[in-house]
Structure 1
Amino acid sequence: MKRRRFLHRIGSILAVLGVTEAEWLSLGNRYYQALAQPSPRKLALLIGINQYPKISALSGCLTDVELQRELLIHRFGFQGSDILTLTEEEASREFIEAAFLDHLGKQAKPGDLVVFHFSGYGSRVKLETSSDTMQNALVAANVSKKSQDEKIVNYILEETILLLLRSLTTDRVTAVLDTSYYALSTVLGLKIRALQESVAKLATEELDLLKQLKTQKLPSTPIVLAATSNPMQSAREGLFSGFSAGLFTYALTQYLWEFTPATTIQVTLSHVENSLNKLGSKQQPALLTNKKNQHITSLMPDGIIGAEGAVTAIEEDGKTVHLWLAGLPPQVLLYYGVNSRLTLATTEQLVLRSRTGLTAKAQISKIDSTNPLQVGQLVQEAVRVLPRNINLTIALDTGLERIERVDATSAFAAFPRVSTVVAGEKPADYIFAKLEEIASRYGLFSLGGELIPNTTGEVGEAVKLTVQRLAPKLSTLLAAKLWRLTENQGSSRLALKATLEIISDISPRVVMQRETVRTLKTETSIKKSLPTAIVPIGSRMQYRVENQSDRPAYLILLGLKNNQTAVAFHSEETTQEPNTADTKALLKEVVIPPGETLTLPQTNAAFEWVISEPAFFYEQQLIVATSPFSGTIAALNTAKYSTAEQGPIGPLLNSLDVAQALLQDLHNASALKTEMNGTAADSYILDVNNWASLSFSFQVV
């Protein structure tokens, strides 16, 4: 496309949006070069804004753009030249709308694939035409424009974005809005992407564009995924190992790396919400359009089922490669250790040598001259190496006085395997802070600012006393952190399928289903639409576990109830005490023969799993291995349980001992530990061929 023709094409759009040619050209040639390419079949417009004038900066929006860009290029076959990114000051209202109309609107043809992404602040604004109602709006980089009479904001209405998406001639349109619109009065923990509502006027050009769009015939019905479903929820950012990101974008892109998007949107959002829970947020992502039972997009090339990352560069020696590892679960990435191994499609192995944030360096174990390394090759996890000395990290809220932080640091230091950081400076698991409503009380909070039950001190109680009360709670939370590190539904090579069901007199009702996807020969079996993971009080529950492998599968179930109490599945057998007439109940191994299905608990009126408590949140990890859980069972048997309160899934008293024994059992099952002796001394070595760990979470109402 000639430069003159390009400027002529976009001139009318710029006039509507109130942009001069000189302003437009200040973007440089990048946008022109993107449009000058041959007609594409896959187009994307990605927008991320961290820095706003006179507004507190966000931290993760540019990472979001990078996460989406790498996903689209390496996972879904987009050409880099067909992905237009607008970041920081480039992402003004005028440029965003002009880029949308020209890069997407004028290029997309029927059947083409289009992706739109926005990460930045959202807010609420009044319209002149309807002064009583507030509307959702995206905050552009040039927040406001000067006016002699009144304040004018350069916001883009959510309605405008939805109409622009509908105006595209292709029906294969997916949009991701990682923002929210209601700013909370106080924020604890993670940064939120919302500004206080504005009573300012919208720019005339924005209102003109909206009016123009409303008069047009809009052929498309896009899929629009939003970071929150409840208007009062906040889209939050997370601080990870060396980077910040939007929790929703990170969870969504991580899921799409590891899994096939042939699943329905309901299934996708169920997985993403599960990940958000683990990241300390109660965000519930939403679908803004009515395509619940459709797929996100038909992005996937045939024959590819998931990856943990891709090769992004190859050094001159031909042996060292640079990797992008956004497909690993976020909680795993932080501890993903040196000597972890990944495989290429050519079956060669890469050995991890270092990692910084989402990028890593690895060495190929053996060069195959017939299949030389190439940039863009996908990598799949083979061996996970985790350190043995993992701590629980508590962030001290910046709202604490200096002496309070000093006392808290000293008190937490008395606990083994607990460390403290200043909130917002380094990744953490929980936050220690004052209660908002009673400033003289302290408590432990999730990263999303939710108070963890039974962690508050008395009114006026000293910091040290409150911290000392937390001893059993900290042990439980560390245990949960450890067993979450086993999650590998995306990378496991052990064929397993598990369904959480509500038992009824007619037929069981599916609540949630999980299965290992690397073992599937086709993608058809994971397309089933599932209902929301909400369980009515009084429900009788069970897991249905299918061992689809050719080896016996040993099973352990561990979990956390309401983010405070550890639970485990108990399968008892009665044994005779030596030299006495007494009997003793001991837990036994649960084993599923190859090709068979087992229900947990077994259907037995005397041993039912009934959900008897309302308003509880359950998170459970179903862990299966090809070797017995000898150490884990032994650790479970050392604790004394009250039969009355136990039940099939009951309290776990020595949760940290059990979690450590679990990791050791999985380590012992790895055949590779003998050839990695140097690593084995201070690390757990876990082979994806020998274990599968599936995560379930649901709420009781």
Structure 2
Amino acid sequence: MTLKRRAFLQRASLALGALGVGGSAWLTTYSRYQVALARHARRRLALLIGINAYPDRALHPGVAQDIALKGCVTDVELQRQLLVHRFGFQPADVVTVTNQEATRASILTAIDEHLVQQAQADDVVLLHFSGYGSQVRVIEAEDVGTLQAAWVTVDSRLPSETNPALGDLLEAEVVAHLGPLATANLTTVIDAGSQDVGYLRWGNSRVRSRPTVPTGLVPLPPEISPLETFPPETSLPLNAPWPGLVLRAAEMGRLVLESQWDGFSAGVFTYALTQSLWETEPDSTAKVLIQRAGSRLQRWVGADQQPGLSDRRPARSGPMAYGLSPQLPPAAGVLLPSSEGRPLTAWLGGMPPQVLRYLQPGSCLVAGIDEGASLLRLETRTGLKASVKSLEGEVTPATLPNQPLFEQVRRLPQTIDLVVALDSQLKRVERVDATSALAGIPLVTAVTAGEKVADCLFGRLPIGPAPTLTAALPSAGEAQPKAGGDARGDSQGGERLAESSYGLFAPNRTLLPGTMLAKEEAVKTAVNRLTPYLQTLLALKLVRLTENHAASRVGAAALLEAVQPKPLPLLVQLTERSPNVTWPLAIRQAQRLATDDPIMLPRDGRIGYRLANVSTHPLHLLWISFDSRGECTALMTLPSAIAADGAEVPPVATPLEPGQLITLPADGAGWAMPGAATWVEAYVVLSTQPLDQCLAVLGDDPPSLATGFRPVPQPLQLAQALLQDLSNSSDEESKPAPDYYALHHDRWATLSFRYAIA
């Protein structure tokens, strides 16, 4: 959709309330959009490549596994919908090459014909690849030991004596083909790996890298016979750097995964990246974007996969991700075009996946940002698409397509389980015993690893000095594919390693600290020992379902800051759709000074929070924190100035009044790091209604802003009480059904913080 400047400004003035900022602030924030409109003649070209359906010969003829990937074509669709609907690409300018189309020759031809030959100076170009990656050794390289990164195409094959040329598409070849590109505004996204771990599965995820390292000659151009000598004048520069901005799922030699979600699979990096781009502001830099994507990766699959960035764009191109300002505000998705008589279809690529997984029919969305916005009800959902129905009578489909979607009411089931995947390398009797033992824990479900999306993994680890499976596995040498298909089992010598006790892992098999013993134990004994940790994981899962900084209309902000050893703002979270607010000076200053890097705090450091209420209602607070040890702590405000026992409640412990800015802890001395924890995930919940159920769970003398936080002996009960409190704030006429929570985004805000401890 293209708007003239005047039309854009008219719509902008109507959109201020929905966007959650005052008029002058909104125009300042979106000034780059106006610049983009003034230069609307810039063409946007994209080539998106995704391969799921690989033949056996592409990896290794002896691989006794299902080698097909599941999420690469989804990656293409995630990018396509984002580019068309948020960044203004014309659908005809977004070319997709998938599965059997994605041969080596077809990819290079598409790069030449769609990108190189069509792009002009200052045009915007995006190239994306999702599939298997590989490390290859080039015989004629100056340093034969140096490994080169390559993409495995659908017609790839391993070198042989009769045909020693490498069958993969070397990244150096792609760089060479992009050399004549007329624009410097190029972004390349690579969601493929090159770690030769020797396996295609990693816990509950799939590995996107070939499990072997082939050695061969540089592939020849099509016009040269394989039997001829490669002409020296056409030698391929193997070390030429990538032009433009490159966003990688991981650096070369590191792990790259794809995972299952509810109804679809996707590359964890592409999903995290596009999620971040759906919510990014116009002035967000590529560095900020990659940090946000990295935070999502860590939450979803652990710390093993770390995204990478290189930026060789000229300074004049600006720091913006994808080289463009978004043409829609941050949103949960977009309403797709539909023909007359067809149901309205929503694309929910910006919806947080933990929420999408449990979003129920009856949830409400708002389409549009002006006074003509329409209220929609979710009817059904399959994967990332949903069928929606207007709640305001009949609508003409032609009036709604391409409108951004925002959450209005989040409807969730009251029964939500913790899904525990059983390591496929456990013996059959171990899996049977684990299934039986886990079945005895309320709200815990056991599944086979890889069967469906899981919250954690139950398994064992080869005994050794490495605390994570990444370090325990061989990473050097050319490991041959293992028939078992998972990232455990035999040692390099063929003998089964001695094993530890049972423990819990993130879905990608990063060990959860404190869940494993150094001695053998029975499966049922281990499950009984781990039950409190499992219940805390479920509590964390439920609290995560309340996070809504991008959807809440309650004016609130929270600042995490270091107090010692040096005062420093670390991270600011605020509600992005709260109407017509002016943020306090302290929050605005912190936004400018807060770090973009992942937060790593020293063990002897101290932290604090500042919370701002810029709404028109008093806000009731619950601060709840989880750490890597499975510990939960909390504090909250008390709903009135007189406690249940008649004692006077200190003013510091009462709800935040409109316009109030408070400090946690109140004395400003900060809180110390929690024990031996290696990470902390904290949530600031602010509600327009009292949190009575939470108060009941925390007892007669609940931890408050006056007393400081305390350990929570029953974190699962507190998380369930929180959902009940937020649902109880609904109007009487719109009370949820007994089996569901109905959370209205104009009545609460949950802001999240995560940091690591050195």
Taking structure 1 as the reference length, the TM-score comes to 0.84
Letter in 1 for 2:747: N
Letter in 1 for 2:451: E
Please state whether the residue corresponding to 1:491 is helix, strand or coil. coil
Aligned equivalent of 1:32: none
- What do you get for the CA RMSD once the two structures are aligned? 3.6
Are positions 1:548 and 2:614 aligned together? Answer: yes
What's the CA shift for 1:534?
1.5
Matches within 5 A, 1:586-601: 591-601=655-665
What's the CA shift for 1:342?
0.4
Aligned equivalent of 2:194: 181
What's the CA shift for 1:307?
1.6
Aligned equivalent of 2:294: 273
Aligned equivalent of 2:572: 513
Are positions 1:321 and 2:322 aligned together? Answer: no
Range moving further from structure 2, 201-210 or 67-76: 201-210
Q: 2:52 aligns with which of 50, 53, 70?
A: 50
Residues 246 and 353 of structure 1: CA distance in aligned 2, closer, same or farther (over 3 Å): same
Range moving further from structure 2, 162-171 or 46-55: 162-171
Aligned equivalent of 2:472: none
What's the CA shift for 1:404?
1.7
Aligned equivalent of 1:89: 100
Residues 190 and 527 of structure 1: CA distance in aligned 2, closer, same or farther (over 3 Å): farther
What's the CA shift for 1:221?
5.1
Matches within 5 A, 1:256-295: 256-282=277-303, 283-289=305-311, 294-295=319-320
| 8 A contact 2:244–2:312 mirrored in 1 | no
Letter in 1 for 2:43: R
Residues 266 and 515 of structure 1: CA distance in aligned 2, closer, same or farther (over 3 Å): farther
| 8 A contact 1:305–1:517 mirrored in 2 | no
Range moving further from structure 2, 129-138 or 163-172: 163-172
What's the CA shift for 1:453?
2.3
Aligned equivalent of 1:683: 740
Range moving further from structure 2, 180-189 or 95-104: 180-189
Please state whether the residue corresponding to 1:411 is helix, strand or coil. helix
Residues 648 and 162 of structure 1: CA distance in aligned 2, closer, same or farther (over 3 Å): farther
| 8 A contact 2:412–2:741 mirrored in 1 | yes
What's the CA shift for 1:682?
1.1
Range moving further from structure 2, 412-421 or 650-659: 650-659
Q: 1:105 aligns with which of 110, 116, 121?
A: 116
In 2, the alpha carbon distance for the partners of 1:656 and 1:587 equals 29
Residues 245 and 324 of structure 1: CA distance in aligned 2, closer, same or farther (over 3 Å): same
Deviation digits for residues 274-328 of structure 1, max 9, x if unmatched? 22233133222221226799220353455x312212222546447x311111111
Aligned equivalent of 2:403: 377
| 8 A contact 2:157–2:167 mirrored in 1 | yes
What's the CA shift for 1:446?
0.9
In 2, the alpha carbon distance for the partners of 1:210 and 1:552 equals 74
What's the CA shift for 1:131?
0.5
Deviation digits for residues 575-621 of structure 1, max 9, x if unmatched? 99969xxx99999855322233222222344xx30226567111122
More strand by share: 1
Matches within 5 A, 1:491-506: 491-504=551-564
What's the CA shift for 1:202?
4.0
In 1, the alpha carbon distance for the partners of 2:52 and 2:285 equals 32
In 1, the alpha carbon distance for the partners of 2:231 and 2:102 equals 20
| 8 A contact 1:570–1:647 mirrored in 2 | no
What's the CA shift for 1:494?
1.8
What's the CA shift for 1:136?
2.1
| 8 A contact 1:560–1:618 mirrored in 2 | yes
| 8 A contact 1:496–1:545 mirrored in 2 | yes
What's the CA shift for 1:204?
3.1
Are positions 1:636 and 2:698 aligned together? Answer: yes
In 1, the alpha carbon distance for the partners of 2:700 and 2:397 equals 53
What's the CA shift for 1:91?
1.6
Letter in 1 for 2:441: F
What's the CA shift for 1:377?
2.3
| 8 A contact 1:609–1:647 mirrored in 2 | no
What's the CA shift for 1:196?
3.2
Please state whether the residue corresponding to 2:152 is helix, strand or coil. strand
In 2, the alpha carbon distance for the partners of 1:167 and 1:596 equals 57
In 2, the alpha carbon distance for the partners of 1:216 and 1:157 equals 11
Aligned equivalent of 1:609: 671
Deviation digits for residues 152-180 of structure 1, max 9, x if unmatched? 32223334445555642223222211122
| 8 A contact 1:587–1:633 mirrored in 2 | no
In 1, the alpha carbon distance for the partners of 2:164 and 2:634 equals 58
What's the CA shift for 1:541?
0.6
Range moving further from structure 2, 540-549 or 79-88: 540-549
Aligned equivalent of 1:339: 362
Residues 464 and 366 of structure 1: CA distance in aligned 2, closer, same or farther (over 3 Å): same
In 2, the alpha carbon distance for the partners of 1:208 and 1:192 equals 37
Please state whether the residue corresponding to 2:109 is helix, strand or coil. helix
Where relative contact order (Cα < 8 A, 6+ residues apart) is larger, the structure is: 2
| 8 A contact 1:165–1:173 mirrored in 2 | no
Residues 566 and 214 of structure 1: CA distance in aligned 2, closer, same or farther (over 3 Å): same
Please state whether the residue corresponding to 1:435 is helix, strand or coil. strand
Residues 392 and 180 of structure 1: CA distance in aligned 2, closer, same or farther (over 3 Å): same
| 8 A contact 1:497–1:546 mirrored in 2 | yes
Range moving further from structure 2, 521-530 or 411-420: 521-530
Deviation digits for residues 367-422 of structure 1, max 9, x if unmatched? 36689643322221111001100111111122122222221111111111111111
Taking structure 2 as the reference length, the TM-score comes to 0.78
What's the CA shift for 1:640?
9.2
Residues 511 and 284 of structure 1: CA distance in aligned 2, closer, same or farther (over 3 Å): farther
Range moving further from structure 2, 262-271 or 241-250: 262-271
Letter in 2 for 1:347: A
| 8 A contact 2:166–2:219 mirrored in 1 | no
In 2, the alpha carbon distance for the partners of 1:170 and 1:634 equals 62
Which runs of no fewer than 5 residues in structure 2 stay unpaired? 1-40, 60-66, 222-229, 464-497
- The sequence identity of aligned pairs, in percent, is 36
Residues 46 and 636 of structure 1: CA distance in aligned 2, closer, same or farther (over 3 Å): same
Deviation digits for residues 104-145 of structure 1, max 9, x if unmatched? 111111121111111111121122212021122222222226
Please state whether the residue corresponding to 1:503 is helix, strand or coil. strand
What's the CA shift for 1:535?
1.4
| 8 A contact 1:305–1:518 mirrored in 2 | no
Are positions 1:477 and 2:537 aligned together? Answer: yes
Aligned equivalent of 1:134: 147
In 2, the alpha carbon distance for the partners of 1:287 and 1:50 equals 25
Letter in 1 for 2:419: T
Please state whether the residue corresponding to 1:170 is helix, strand or coil. coil
Please state whether the residue corresponding to 1:66 is helix, strand or coil. helix
Range moving further from structure 2, 626-635 or 307-316: 307-316
Letter in 2 for 1:178: D
| 8 A contact 2:411–2:741 mirrored in 1 | yes
| 8 A contact 1:601–1:648 mirrored in 2 | yes
Please state whether the residue corresponding to 2:220 is helix, strand or coil. helix
Residues 474 and 614 of structure 1: CA distance in aligned 2, closer, same or farther (over 3 Å): closer
Deviation digits for residues 306-354 of structure 1, max 9, x if unmatched? 2212222546447x31111111101110000110000111321111111
Q: 2:267 aligns with which of 246, 261, 268?
A: 246
Alignment size in residue pairs: 648
Are positions 1:191 and 2:198 aligned together? Answer: no
Residues 51 and 630 of structure 1: CA distance in aligned 2, closer, same or farther (over 3 Å): same
Please state whether the residue corresponding to 1:181 is helix, strand or coil. coil
Letter in 2 for 1:244: S
Matches within 5 A, 1:91-490: 91-127=102-138, 128-129=140-141, 130-144=143-157, 148-149=161-162, 151-162=164-175, 164-165=177-178, 167-185=180-198, 187-205=202-220, 222-229=244-251, 231-282=252-303, 283-289=305-311, 294-301=319-326, 304-314=328-338, 316-317=340-341, 320-345=343-368, 346-367=372-393, 373-437=399-463, 438-439=498-499, 441-456=501-516, 459-490=519-550
Please state whether the residue corresponding to 2:203 is helix, strand or coil. coil
In 1, the alpha carbon distance for the partners of 2:746 and 2:560 equals 24
What's the CA shift for 1:522?
11
